[in-house]
């Protein structure tokens, strides 16, 4: 389409968003059309999460200026110091969803128990679980951080949702995603129809489709892990790492990239190909179950990984097949290109 006055297609040159401008709202609505029985409830939850991420993003980009930098001095259920931005993100996500009548119950990394919908509000058919600000130890040093969310249908029949509603296998997720607050703010999500990325244009406050149908590249580039703990790993994980580095005489030679913010490490590997792992370790003398939480970190990221052609494992089992036993349960976590995750499982099966 050539504009007579301009003599060229205005969208092609002036428009920074390629030929088509697709907002996240339009994209989500278009995808909903693929579900004839859809009521729009899930669509509206996704809208609310997008809104929450815009509000949180407006604070993360000014964290050093609005006096919410630094910690509250209090600890959360994980025994981690709660950063002010953690608290803020947590409250925004809850307050945007507690009164809509779309959610039966919520749970957050920042709270020991499930978060009931206040008595004065109706409950709805969905369950929302989230890590409001993953990687928050990086806030004060201006490194990318992220929000992770997971959405299930409630299992309980009615009334206020239950803990059981929050402890579902990842295979039963209806939607999951993350927001990365980095050089730009991106929202990446899936409802089981592929993985799609949207970049926030803060000048207009809109998320625009920038990465449709994201797939792990066939030729992975990076491995991401905290090798500072290598001496605490099991033999299988140490041998796996040597294999990745080509130190076992093989011909692999991946580069190490580790940010210390799982959302950022996952996001880079999703776009470049690679594997992220946080294995069990014996830092405190006994073998741990890993650091990352199954319900609101590993399962949603595993859902995205499988939707993008990769996979995720606890070293022996696919993460999406795991039945959570408690809200803050930790697991060893390997996620990325399928062949790299399966190689980790092989080494652990052979060497422990
Ligand atoms: P470590 C951030 O605190 C986090 O939960 C993940 O985002 C990240 O991958 C991991 O912990 C980093 O942990 O022990 O390497 O500092």
CATH code of the domain containing 333? 3.40.190.80
Q: Do 228 and 91 share a structural domain?
A: no
Per-residue confidence at 70, pLDDT binned at 50, 70, 90?
low
**Phi/psi at 135 (5° precision):** 85, 25
Domain end: 211, 234, 256, which one?
211
DSSP letters for 309-351: T-EEESSSSBGGG---SSTT-B--EEEESHHHHHHHHHHHHHH
Task: Tell me which residue has its CA closest to atom 14 in ligand 1.
Answer: 226
CATH code of the domain containing 72? 3.30.540.10
Task: Tell me which residue has its CA closest to atom 13 in ligand 1.
Answer: 260
Q: Do 109 and 62 share a structural domain?
A: yes
Q: Which atom of ligand 1 is nearest to the CA of 263?
A: 7
**Arithmetic mean of pLDDT, 217-227:** 97
Domain membership flag for residue 15: no
Q: Do 251 and 147 share a structural domain?
A: no
Task: Tell me which residue has its CA closest to atom 3 in ligand 1.
Answer: 135
Task: Tell me which residue has its CA closest to atom 5 in ligand 1.
Answer: 135
Residue with token string 């030679």: 253
- Ligand 1: lining residues by beta carbon, under 6 Å: 134-135, 137, 226, 260-262, 278, 291
pLDDT at residue 19, as a whole number: 61
Q: Do 226 and 81 share a structural domain?
A: no
Per-residue confidence at 14, pLDDT binned at 50, 70, 90?
very low
Ligand 1 centroid, distance to 346 Cα (angstroms) = 25
pLDDT digits (tens, 9 = 90+) for 298-307: 999 999 999 9
Q: Do 175 and 84 share a structural domain?
A: yes
Q: Do 241 and 190 share a structural domain?
A: no
Task: Tell me which residue has its CA closest to atom 10 in ligand 1.
Answer: 260
* Enclosing domain of residue 322: 222-351
Domain membership flag for residue 79: yes
Q: What is the pTM (predicted TM-score) of this model?
A: 0.92
Q: Do 130 and 168 share a structural domain?
A: yes
Ligand 1 centroid, distance to 292 Cα (angstroms) = 8
In the chain, the number of structural domains is 2
Ligand 1 centroid, distance to 143 Cα (angstroms) = 12
pLDDT digits (tens, 9 = 90+) for 36-59: 888 899 999 999 999 999 999 998
Domain membership flag for residue 206: yes
Domain membership flag for residue 38: yes
Residue with token string 């990239």: 257
CA distance 139 to 133: 9
Q: Do 250 and 183 share a structural domain?
A: no
Q: Do 204 and 229 share a structural domain?
A: no
pLDDT digits (tens, 9 = 90+) for 110-121: 999 999 999 999
Q: Do 185 and 229 share a structural domain?
A: no
Answer yes or no: is pLDDT of 10 > 80. Answer: no
pLDDT digits (tens, 9 = 90+) for 233-279: 999 999 999 999 999 888 888 999 999 999 999 999 999 999 999 99
Domain membership flag for residue 72: yes
């Amino acid at each position: 389409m050539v504009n007579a006055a301009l003599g060229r297609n205005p969208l092609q040159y002036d428009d920074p968003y390629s030929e088509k401008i697709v907002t996240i709202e339009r994209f989500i609505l278009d995808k909903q059309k693929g579900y004839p029985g859809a009521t729009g409830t899930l669509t509206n939850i996704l809208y609310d999460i997008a809104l929450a991420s815009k509000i949180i993003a407006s604070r993360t980009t000014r964290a050093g200026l609005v006096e919410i930098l630094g910690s509250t001095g209090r600890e959360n259920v994980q025994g981690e110091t709660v950063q002010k931005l953690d608290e803020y993100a947590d409250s925004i996500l809850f307050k945007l969803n507690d009164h809509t009548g779309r959610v039966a119950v919520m749970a957050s990394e920042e709270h020991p128990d499930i978060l009931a919908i206040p008595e004065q509000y109706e409950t709805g058919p969905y369950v929302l679980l989230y890590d409001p600000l993953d990687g928050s130890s990086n806030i004060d040093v201006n490194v990318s951080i992220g929000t992770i969310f997971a959405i299930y249908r409630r299992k309980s029949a009615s009334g206020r949702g239950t803990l059981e509603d929050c402890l579902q296998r990842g295979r039963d997720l209806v939607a999951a995603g993350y927001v990365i607050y980095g050089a730009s703010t991106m929202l990446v999500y899936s409802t089981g129809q592929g993985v799609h990325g949207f970049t926030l244009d803060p000048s207009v406050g809109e998320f625009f489709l920038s990465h449709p149908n994201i797939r792990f590249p066939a030729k992975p580039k990076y491995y991401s892990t905290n090798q500072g703990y290598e001496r605490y790993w099991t033999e299988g994980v140490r041998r796996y790492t040597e294999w990745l580095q080509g130190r076992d005489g093989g011909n692999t030679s991946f580069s190490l990239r580790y940010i210390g913010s799982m959302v950022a490490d996952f996001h880079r590997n999703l776009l470049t190909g690679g594997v992220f792992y946080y294995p069990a370790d014996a830092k405190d003398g006994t073998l741990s179950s890993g650091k990352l939480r199954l319900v609101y970190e590993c399962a949603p990221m595993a859902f995205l990984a499988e939707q993008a052609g990769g996979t995720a494992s606890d070293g022996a089992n696919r993460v999406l097949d795991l039945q959570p036993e408690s809200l803050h349960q930790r697991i060893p976590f390997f996620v990325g290109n399928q062949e790299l995750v399966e190689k980790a499982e092989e080494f652990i099966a052979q060497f422990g």
